[in-house]
Amino acid sequence: MLRNYWYIACSSRQLAESPHGAQVLDQEIVVFRDSSAKPHALLNRCCHRGVELSLGKVIEGTIACRYHGWRYAGNGQCVHIPSLSSGRGIPEGVGVPRYPCVEQDGYVWVWVDKREGNPARPPRIPQFANYRWHQGSMPMQCGVLKGIENNLDWCHPYFAHPWTHGQFFNTRFRGFRDQSYEMRRSEQGLVVFTPVTANEEEPIPEQPLIKLTFDLPNRVRAEFWKPFHLVIVMHFVPTGNNTCRFEWLISKLLPIGS
């Protein structure tokens, strides 16, 4: 698992008044909003008895454990223990680990790498503000690489996506034909597109028929220009060696303002 990257904990819409639990790599995380609606991410375990904090609720901008009411601020520090006797303060150092957390482009992102240093902000989703999106999430019983490879695979749509994918209709009504596509390295991964260029020195066309882009660590972007412009952005968040969480965005057909 590639640790020193930003990963999606949940969509912004999933994080409302209640805390939200999420698995990111090998970490159980809880995210919640404080009194100013800013998101925070903590280890999803109360330091008292190990209960999942995501089972609790948000009180006055802190997250309260459901078992004994211990409350934690966004920095992970315990700020309230209801069962303490009068006059006793919270022992120093009582708290849970926190994770850097940023809300951007419709998602709440977390950084789970424990090495020192302040990571840069998550990479932007290109042209996110230009479209209206359908958004969804689903768990998958496969490793991240299988999810990524599947969505860069040029030949599977006819067999795996009957009556729902453009490649299926193209093959169904025109038959199997030889197709040419080009693959190039990029700074963050690779790009696959068609039609091909005359040579590798030519720039990638601005509007090819189909363009598939992979960016480290887990993003695949699919763009289709004919008969209409459609954008699909996919993130495969690792949750185990053979499991992941599939976060997807599909653009509505008309850009904002059209």
Tell me the C-alpha to C-alpha distance, in Å, between residue 119 and each of 42, 109, 220, 252.
17, 12, 22, 32
Nearest to 10 by CA among 23, 57, 151: 23
Q: CA quadruple 28, 237, 102, 22: dihedral positive or negative?
A: negative
Residue bearing tokens 């609790």: 56
Residue 48 has pLDDT above 80, yes or no: yes
Query: Is 16's pLDDT higher than 50?
Result: yes
Average pLDDT of the residues of the chain: 92
Please say if the pLDDT value at position 117 is more than 80: no
Residue 19 scores a pLDDT above 60: yes
pLDDT in tens, 122-167: 999 999 999 999 999 999 999 999 999 999 998 899 999 999 888 8
Mean pLDDT of 156-183: 90
Kindly tell me if the per-residue pLDDT of 254 is higher than 60.
no
Average pLDDT over residues 212-221: 96
Q: What is the pTM of this model?
A: 0.91
Percentage of residues in the chain having pLDDT higher than 70: 97
Task: For residue 105, report the phi and psi dihedrals to the nearest 5 degrees.
Answer: 55, 45
pLDDT in tens, 220-234: 999 988 778 899 999
Do 206 and 191 touch, CB atoms closer than 8 A? no
Say which residue the tokens 């690779």 belong to. Answer: 190
Give the mean pLDDT of 178-206: 92
pLDDT value for 256: 46
Q: What is the model's pLDDT at position 23?
A: 97
